[in-house]
Amino acid sequence: MALTTLRCIGLVAGAVFSAPAAAQAATLTPIMVLQNAAIPVQAVVLGLVGAMLAAIAVLIMKLATPPGLSGGSAYLTGLRLGGPLAGALGAAYTLLVMFLFISGTSKPVSLNELAPGFAEAVMLVLLGFACGAFAAIGKWAVDARIDRAVLKS
C-alpha cells in the first residue's frame, strides 16, 4: 500500500517537474496527429468528417427543396447517436493500443510519449460530438420545417 502511494506521488512529481520539458517539445497539430494515427483510426476520422459533410449536404438539400415529409430525416436521426458512438469507439481503440504499449515496456513511459495518443483519443471524441451536434441541429431544422408545412403556421 505504501509503495503504491509513493509510486503515485512519484508519478505526479515527475509530471509536474517535466512540464517545462514538455513545453519545449514540438507542438502537435491535428494534421500531425492524423498523420501518425493508425489506419483504423484514420478511417474513423475520415468517416466522421465525411458523415458531417453528408449531414450538411442533406440539410441544405432538405431546406432548399419545397417543404415535404420525405428524405434525409432518418440519416440525421441516426447520425445524432452514431457520430458520438463512432468517435468513442475510435478513442477506445486508441487508448487500448496505448495501454497495451505501456504494459509491454519495462521502462517508465514519459508523458511526452503518451501525449500523441491522448491527443488522438481526444480528437476522435471531439469529432464524434461535433458530428452528433451537426446532425442534431440539422434534424431540428428539418423537423421545424416539416412542422411548419404540416401545421401551416
* The pLDDT value given to residue 69: 64
Give the pLDDT score at 16: 44
pLDDT tier at 36 (50, 70, 90 boundaries)? Answer: confident
| pLDDT at residue 80, as a whole number | 92
Q: Express as a percent the part of the chain with pLDDT over 90.
A: 39
Q: Which amino acid is at 19?
A: A
Write out pLDDT tens, residues 37-59.
889 999 999 999 999 999 999 88
C-alpha grid cell, residue 87:
468517435
For residue 108, give the amino acid letter.
Answer: P
Per-residue pLDDT tens over the stretch 94-140: 999 999 988 888 888 888 888 889 999 999 999 999 999 999 998 89
Higher pLDDT, 71 or 110: 110
* Whether 60 contacts 137, CB under 8 Å: no
44, 87 Cβ separation under 8 angstroms: yes
Q: What is the DSSP string of the chain?
A: -HHHHHHHHHHHHHHHHTHHHHHHSPPP-HHHHHHTS-HHHHHHHHHHHHHHHHHHHHHHHHHHSPS-S-SSHHHHHHHHHHHHHHHHHHHHHHHHHHHHHHHH-SSPPPHHHHHHHHHHHHHHHHHHHHHHHHHHHHHHHHHHHHHHHHHT-
pTM of the model: 0.74
Q: Give the C-alpha separation, 133 to 52, whole Å.
A: 9
CA distance 101 to 141: 45
